[in-house]
Amino acid sequence: MEYSIQEIARAAGTTSRTLRHYDALGLVRPTRVGHNGYRYYDDRSLVRLQRVLLLRELGLGLDRIADVLAAQDAGSDLAGTADAVALAEARVLGAHLGLLEQERARIDRQIGAVRRTIAALTTQHEGNGLMEANMFDGFDHTKHKEEVIERWGENAYAKSDSWWRSMSAEQQQGWQDQVAALNADWIAAANGGEDPTSERAQALAERHAKWLRGVPGAPTGEAFEHYVRGLGEMYVADERFAANYGGVAGATLVRDALRAYLDGAAGEEALSG
């Protein structure tokens, strides 16, 4: 099946101009261009466009979407039979499904927070403040404040919180894009059955460790190793964190890959540095 650019634009709720822009950026290329200059797309192009639109809905910029797609494509064997291609694309879409479920959980928390606020406003009695309604659940990055303080101390939380609030909205968005891309790559690796000690998983573990080290207040040296190992265990044990990696199976890959990274030469070098 082939579809014209106008048909695709209508079905996706976008415009022909946007599709041409995606083509120019290399995000979604048409299957062919007719002698009259018209662009035509096949089913694989539709799957690719769906991936782009999903990542856009998750808040990633087009440059970061290009990075995520490139990383996912590099980790998928897109050569071979039609069945092999379909299987590879299904694994990639499975990664996106995990991100959508993660986003749905966040939106569900926001809906619950707003509902509780409405209930608190309509039934509020003197002495009962709105904060008791958990009105910021799903909105504020500090929602795990008490857990952070309990695990790593007040100073660690204060430094991290001060660093976050010092950033501009653009810088905060960039950080969130980085986290979303890392999570997407972990989910893709888990859906592809990646071994924790593989080159791909170890490269992700290195990225993950560097990301953690970049947060002000993170411990250093041997304490950082214990910190990373503890986080890995928490990813698996706490379903809220496991959701970031598509569930327990994905979180288990992250934990085991981080362990292997810390036990290896690269991890020892990073810790000593």
Topology, domain 1-57: Multidrug-efflux Transporter Regulator; Chain: A; Domain 2 (1.10.1660)
Q: What is the mean pLDDT of the chain?
A: 76
Q: Which two tokens stand for residue 95?
A: 């990664």
Q: Is the pLDDT of residue 39 over 80?
A: yes
- Residue 221's pLDDT band (boundaries 50, 70, 90)? confident
Q: Where in the chain are the domains?
A: 1-57, 58-272
The residue assigned the tokens 């694989």 is 44
Q: Is the pLDDT of residue 200 over 70?
A: yes
Cα separation, 38 vs 51, whole angstroms: 23
Residues 222-242 pLDDT 10s: 888 888 888 888 888 877 788
Residues 131-165 pLDDT 10s: 344 434 444 445 455 555 555 566 656 666 677 67
Q: Is the pTM of this model over 0.75?
A: no
CA-CA-CA-CA torsion sign (130, 172, 238, 193): positive
Q: Which two tokens stand for residue 74?
A: 């590099």
Cα separation, 188 vs 201, whole angstroms: 11
Q: What is the pLDDT of residue 78?
A: 46
User: Of the candidates 137, 147, 210, which has an alpha carbon nearest to the alpha carbon of residue 178?
Assistant: 210
